[in-house]
A and B are shown apart, each in its own frame.
Chain A
């Protein structure tokens, strides 16, 4: 199968604004519950992780994507297939590190943060922290342990959304049971 851009399967769509508003409402609830912005960041990432763990199943089933042979390919798949499929945004993969274990995913549009303005006292809040969690959860299910964070956030004045994706290790396939039981 020649590698190349595959057509992105079209999933059933729903209005993005209700998605954006619901996400905003959830973030507001979290801030009211926790009061400490670091905790909120962690909680958002954790929620994203839970989503990612299940999302990768749907992604693999619907896109019929085969096994990725390398981290490089995996990053491309995330940016070119997964993000457009679920969120209708596309990302570019840039800034590869010398040994190929780190890269940046650059997004110009982020539906999670559409009607949002971040006031000064919430500067340490990572508003879209759900997204790195989803990527981390999804990649962990295909045995790539990664660390994913936002390094540029348009809500804080940068000119794009940049996620830094770093491969920590390839894990071996885990069997769910022991042979000698």
Chain B
């Protein structure tokens, strides 16, 4: 009989160990998560009256996840300073949050041409949407709305209120559309960024 390891749930929640090392993070099978996600969509579809409401519900679920995920990530990174710059925060999402969630960095991080408060993060093959096929009647639904909610939660808890949405962009080279997360920062964030830039220059 192997030595019984005391379950971490037996400890007070504050004393429970959190994996510090990237390699120690426990995993579950992708199928389990895919099933959970599909049940969530099924439940939300029942309660929602329209596609926008459905995406709203997913966004709200993702928001809660994002707030907590930022704390976990920051704890692991041992970062001692907050990131007031927009680009730093976005790079953190692109290169730290994405591998944490999906095992690879996001494929693209761009600034929109038209407006300077809009940024886009793209993923060519969103892990969440791999087992989802969208019927014609729901053609404008994007399963990436959950991820958009997660990003919104992370940005909000880091002090960057923004409007985040997910879109499909058809790719000429592949049959699968790319999921693009569009981030539109609030005016307060842009003002702060401008003040920071001015302080750096002056």
- The answer on a CB contact under 8 Å between B29 and A88 is yes
Of B13, B35, B60, B64, the contact of A24 (CB 8 Å cutoff): B64
Interface size class of B (residues with CB under 8 A): 35 or more
Q: Does A122 contact B (CB under 8 A)?
A: no
A163 at the A/B interface (Cβ < 8 Å)?
Answer: no
A49-72 toward B: CB 8 Å interface, digit per residue (1/0)? Answer: 011001100100000000000000
- Considering the chains assembled together, what is the distance between the CA atoms of A125 and B8 in angstroms? 21
Q: Does B92 contact A (CB under 8 A)?
A: no
Q: Measured between alpha carbons, how far is A12 from B32 in the docked complex, in Å?
A: 10
A74 at the interface (CB under 8 A from B): no
Q: Of A16, A21, A116, A154, which one neighbours B7 at CB under 8 angstroms? A: A154
List residues of chain A with CB within 8 A of the CB of B9.
108-110, 113, 154-155
Are the C-beta atoms of A160 and B7 separated by less than 8 Å?
Answer: yes
Docked CA distance A12–B72 (Å):
23
A165 interface residue per 8 A CB criterion: no
A115 proximity list for chain B (CB < 8 A)? 13, 68
Pairwise interchain contact A18-B7, C-beta atoms closer than 8 A? no
Interface size of A as a range = 35 or more
By a CB distance below 8 angstroms, the chain B residues around A181 are none
Q: How does the 8 Å CB contact mask read for B120-141 relative to A, with 1 for contact and 0 for none?
A: 0000000100000000000000
Report which of A54, A109, A111, A113 forms a contact with B35, defined as CB distance below 8 A.
Answer: A54
Set A12, A33, A50: member contacting B29, Cβ < 8 A? A12
Within 8 A of A (CB), among B90-105: 100-103
Which of B36-44, B166-174, B188-196 sits within the interface? B36-44
Q: Are B30 and A51 in contact (CB under 8 A)?
A: no
Closest residue of chain B to A155 (Cβ to Cβ) is: B9
Which chain B positions have C-beta within 8 A of A159? 7, 10
Q: Are A85 and B29 in contact (CB under 8 A)?
A: yes
Asked whether B143 is an interface residue with its Cβ less than 8 Å from the other chain, the reply is: no
Flag if A108 contacts B7 (CB, 8 Å): yes
Cβ of B144 within 8 Å of any chain A Cβ, yes or no, is no
Taking CB atoms and an 8 Å cut-off, the chain B residues in 35-71 that contact chain A are: 35-40, 42-43, 47, 57, 60-62, 64-65, 68-69
Is the Cβ of B27 less than 8 Å from the Cβ of A15?
yes
* Cross-chain contact B127 with A117 (CB below 8 angstroms): no
B25: Cβ under 8 A from any A Cβ: yes
User: Which residues of A are interface residues toward B (Cβ below 8 A)?
Assistant: 11-19, 21-26, 28-30, 33, 43, 47, 50-51, 54-55, 58, 85-88, 108-111, 113, 115-117, 130, 154-155, 159-160
Q: List 10 extra interface pairs beyond A17-B72, A86-B32, CB under 8 A.
A: A11-B31, A13-B28, A13-B29, A14-B102, A17-B26, A18-B33, A19-B28, A109-B8, A113-B9, A116-B13
